[in-house]
């Protein structure tokens, strides 16, 4: 399912045996987290030349704070491997309400103000899950990696 929704990069980035777990708070598993109500946000932030690294210095503590929020299942910001001026964002909240609460936190407001000074523009996709099917890929063995669909 994640391959069809988000593309091959996200499959590699988020999925592992037993459920979607990369970026979860304290390594906890997402199974049983009310998949039918989840809200996923993927985004791309574009910065002027040389500004992305300044942004990433701010992003590290911000992401750590967001991961501790009630209702946040995962929260990631990573430099793009294809564009030196882009940061990709991947977030998941238990519900649209949990995401709305995140947008009202003082740390979001402060971070958004900093982003306003460093960024050129952002594009986001909000995905409201009706069904989530965990997927996995096995690596590190002697045989070629196997992906289950």
Read off the pLDDT of each residue in 8-15 and give the average, rounded to a whole number.
33
pLDDT over 60 at 8, yes or no: no
For tokens 């929020």, the residue is: 69
Give residue 10's pLDDT: 35
pLDDT over 70 at 134, yes or no: yes
Question: Percent of the chain scored above 70 by pLDDT?
Answer: 72
Domain that holds residue 118: 36-148
Number of domains into which the chain is organized? 1
The model's confidence at residue 99, banded by pLDDT at 50, 70 and 90, is: very high
Instruction: Give me the CATH number covering residue 117.
Output: 3.30.70.100
Q: CA Rg, the chain, in Å?
A: 16
Q: Domain for residue 56, yes or no?
A: yes
CB 72 within 8 A of CB 102: yes
Give residue 146's pLDDT: 62
The model's confidence at residue 14, banded by pLDDT at 50, 70 and 90, is: very low
Q: Domain for residue 12, yes or no?
A: no
pLDDT over 50 at 20, yes or no: no
Residue 24 gets which letter from DSSP? B
Q: Domain for residue 122, yes or no?
A: yes
- Dist CA 132 CA 75 (whole Å): 17
Read off the pLDDT of each residue in 95-100 and give the average, rounded to a whole number.
95
Q: Domain for residue 135, yes or no?
A: yes
The model's confidence at residue 24, banded by pLDDT at 50, 70 and 90, is: very low
The secondary structure of 9-22 as a DSSP string is HHHHHHEETTEE-T
Q: Domain for residue 19, yes or no?
A: no
Q: Domain for residue 66, yes or no?
A: yes
The rounded mean pLDDT for the chain is 79
- Dist CA 145 CA 93 (whole Å): 30
- Taking CB atoms within 8 Å and a gap of at least 24, the contacts of 68-73 are 68/25, 69/98, 69/101, 69/102, 69/105, 70/98, 70/101, 71/95, 71/97, 71/98, 71/99, 71/101, 71/102, 72/25, 72/98, 72/102, 73/24, 73/25, 73/30, 73/33, 73/38
pLDDT over 70 at 19, yes or no: no
Bridge partners (DSSP) listed for residue 66: none
Read off the pLDDT of each residue in 114-136 and give the average, rounded to a whole number.
89
pLDDT tens-digit series, residues 33-91: 567 789 999 999 999 998 999 999 999 999 999 999 999 999 999 999 999 999 999 99
Buried b / exposed e along 108-120 (16+ C-beta atoms within 10 A): beebeeebeeebe
């Amino acid at each position: 399912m994640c391959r069809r929704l988000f593309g091959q990069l996200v499959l590699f980035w988020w999925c592992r045996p037993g459920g979607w777990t990369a970026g979860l708070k304290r390594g906890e598993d997402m199974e049983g987290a009310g998949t039918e109500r989840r809200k996923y946000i993927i985004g791309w932030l574009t910065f002027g030349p040389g500004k992305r690294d300044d942004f990433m210095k701010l992003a590290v503590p911000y992401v750590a704070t967001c991961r501790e929020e009630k209702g946040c299942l995962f929260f990631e910001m990573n430099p793009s491997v294809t564009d030196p001026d882009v940061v990709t964002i991947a977030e998941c909240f238990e519900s649209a309400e949990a995401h709305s609460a995140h947008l009202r936190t003082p740390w979001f407001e402060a971070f958004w103000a900093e982003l306003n000074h460093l960024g050129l523009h952002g594009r986001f996709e909000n995905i409201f899950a009706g069904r989530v099917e965990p997927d996995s890929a096995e690596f590190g063995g002697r045989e070629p990696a196997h992906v289950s669909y």
